[in-house]
Each structure stands twice: as C-alpha cells, then as structure tokens.
C-alpha cells in the first residue's frame, strides 16, 4: 500500500519506519526537516507539505503533538484534506480532543474521504518494537483495510466501536488510568516511606503480586526512583492529556474527581518549574506535600 505518515516525533518516526520495513511505500511529512533524513535514507519519500505528502496514498496517518497541530496539518493551508483522494483513509493516531475528532469525521465525510480514529497505547520503545496496542474506531470495512498497517506497528488491535470518537475517548480513559497509577502509587509510597518502608521493597511486593501489570512495573519504578530525566513524555503533555479528559467529561457531564486531583498536582509541578521532566514527576509534588525530600 501507499502510506503517508504526518508527524515524525518520538512516536511517528518509529511508526513510519515499521511500515516501511513491512514493505509499504511510505511518504513522510514533518514540520521541521531534521527527523525526515533518516527515514529518507531508509527509503521514504519526503514531502514538504501535508498536501503533497498524501497525494495518491491509500492511507494517511497523523501522529502529532496536539489538537492545534492536527488541525493545521489536516484542515490548514496546504493541508492534507485538499489533495486527499476520495475513498482514501485518514488514520488519526494522535491523542486529540473528542471535539476535534468529531469535526475531522465530518470534514472527511463531506469530501467522500474515510476516517478511522486509531490512537495507540505504548511508549516510544514499544513503537520501535512494533508492540503498540491500537484502539480503532471506525466502520468494519475501514478498520479491516487498515489491518496490514496496524499489524506492522502493533501487537494487537482492539476495534472498539464503529464511532471514531469512541476510540478517542477510550484512549483518554486509558491515559487517565495511567496517570491515576502515578497519582495513587505516589500517595501510597509517600505513606509507606514516612513509616520507614524502603521504596524498592514496596514496588517489588506490589508488582509481584496483585499489581503485576506492565503499567505498574513501568510507573511504580519511575515514581520510586524519581528518575524523571530524560523524559519519555513531558509533564506539559501529561497536563494536556488530563485537560482533554476533563473536557470530554464536562461535555457529557461526568464528574471525575481523581482527574481533578491529578490536574492540580501537575499544575503545581509546572508552577515550580518541572516543564522538562517526565510526566510521572508530578509524584514528586505528592512526596513534597508530605514533607519528603527527593529520593
């Protein structure tokens, strides 16, 4: 298939590479040039606008930082919507608002273009290994057509709904649960540290008993060791995600008090200058609130 990948950050670059290695024809676009070079060497065609990148492709994947970037790339000047073929599928993988996802679905429908919402779970290492989890929202037919691509980048695809927006909200719900692991483990660790329990022992116990899941192994260790640099995913992006969760919740009138607690701790982290740290660093705020010095 002919596939365009728009956005070559920590996640987009390895995704493009995996698709290339799976034998597809790949064109890439990125706002800055630097990240395109290695992919060009590996055989990707480099485009200088989204408009150019998606011309003639079967599938165009967007993997961008936020709503604003997606809006620019899809609907902005020299955006992809202008040259995208009728019948071609836009696969939106970024974590975006439910509001924007709904607007994209409409905009594509008006042009007889297809739209699949397919956010993913997994950090950059998982993207490199083709071990992402893909959460797909869209018609059976559209999702089926994307199967070869999803297979190249992920270990499993969950086709969650015919409604693309449902996939976005599931991604937001999942991100909220990951943030909740950081928050609640951070609180439990503050408690046990104040009673003299060693952080590594508490982590060892939990992750080898009831909490033996990947998300706990990753984040409980980060919180316990406080190794927040280099950041896998920075705190301002974490706050952006929690705000998307709260906006989606507000729109349907769903109170999510723990999301509010998390947002407040993140705001304090940022108010104190933690912009460059990994998003799990908001657990540092929790520890400080209990009077604990850095680990």
Pattern 44-83, binding to a copy of itself, x per CB under 8 A? ----------------------------------------
Is residue 213 near a copy of itself by the rule CB under 8 A? Answer: yes
The answer to whether 194 is a known catalytic residue is no
Picking from 64, 85, 125, the residue whose alpha carbon sits closest to that of residue 2 is: 85
* Cα(90)–Cα(6) distance, integer angstroms: 11
Give the three-class secondary structure for 275: coil
Residue choice 33, 37, 48, 201 for contact with a copy of itself (CB under 8 A): 201
Residue choice 156, 200, 276, 295 for contact with a copy of itself (CB under 8 A): 156
- Helix axes 235-251 and 164-194, enclosed angle (nearest 10): 120
Token representation of residue 158: 């969950």
Token representation of residue 147: 């199967």
Cis peptide upstream of residue 230 (ω within 30 degrees of 0) = yes
Which residue, 50 or 138, has its beta carbon nearer to a copy of itself?
138
Catalytic residue from among 2, 111, 112, 171: 171
* Cα(26)–Cα(20) distance, integer angstroms: 6
Residue choice 174, 199, 226, 232 for contact with a copy of itself (CB under 8 A): 174
Output the smallest distance, CB 176 to a copy of itself, in A: 6
Residue choice 177, 200, 276, 295 for contact with a copy of itself (CB under 8 A): 177
| Footprint on residues 250-289 left by a copy of itself (CB under 8 A) | 250, 252-261, 263-265, 267-268, 270-273, 286, 289
* Cα(263)–Cα(240) distance, integer angstroms: 9
Token representation of residue 127: 């993207």
Q: How far is CA 194 from CA 186, 198, 199, 291, in A?
A: 12, 10, 10, 9
Output the smallest distance, CB 286 to a copy of itself, in A: 8
| Footprint on residues 104-123 left by a copy of itself (CB under 8 A) | 121
The residues that are catalytic are: 171
């Amino acid at each position: 298939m002919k596939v365009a990948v728009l956005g070559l950050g920590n996640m987009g670059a390895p995704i493009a590479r995996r698709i290339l290695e799976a034998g597809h024809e790949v064109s890439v676009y990125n706002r800055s040039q630097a990240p395109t070079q290695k992919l060009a060497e590996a055989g990707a065609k480099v485009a200088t606008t989204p408009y150019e990148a998606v011309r003639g492709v079967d599938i165009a994947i967007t993997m961008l930082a936020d709503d604003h970037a997606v809006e620019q790339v899809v609907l902005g000047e020299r955006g992809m919507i202008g040259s995208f073929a009728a019948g071609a599928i836009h696969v939106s993988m970024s974590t975006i608002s439910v509001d924007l996802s709904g607007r994209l679905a409409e905009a594509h429908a008006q042009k007889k273009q297809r739209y699949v919402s397919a956010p993913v779970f997994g950090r950059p290492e998982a993207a490199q290994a083709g071990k992402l989890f893909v959460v797909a929202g869209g018609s059976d037919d559209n999702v089926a057509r994307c199967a070869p691509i999803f297979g190249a980048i992920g270990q499993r695809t969950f086709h969650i709904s015919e409604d693309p927006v449902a996939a976005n909200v599931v991604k937001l719900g999942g991100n909220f649960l990951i943030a909740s692991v950081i928050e609640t483990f951070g609180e439990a660790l503050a408690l046990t540290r104040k009673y003299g329990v060693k952080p590594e022992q508490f982590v060892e116990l939990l992750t080898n008993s009831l909490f033996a899941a990947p998300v706990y192994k990753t984040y409980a260790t980060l919180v316990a060791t406080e190794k927040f640099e280099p950041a896998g995913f920075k705190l301002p992006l974490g706050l952006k995600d929690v705000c998307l969760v709260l906006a989606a919740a507000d729109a349907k009138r769903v109170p999510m008090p723990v999301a509010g607690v998390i947002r407040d701790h993140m705001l304090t982290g940022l108010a104190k200058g933690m912009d460059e740290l990994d998003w799990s660093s908001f657990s540092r705020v929790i520890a400080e609130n209990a009077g604990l010095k850095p680990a």
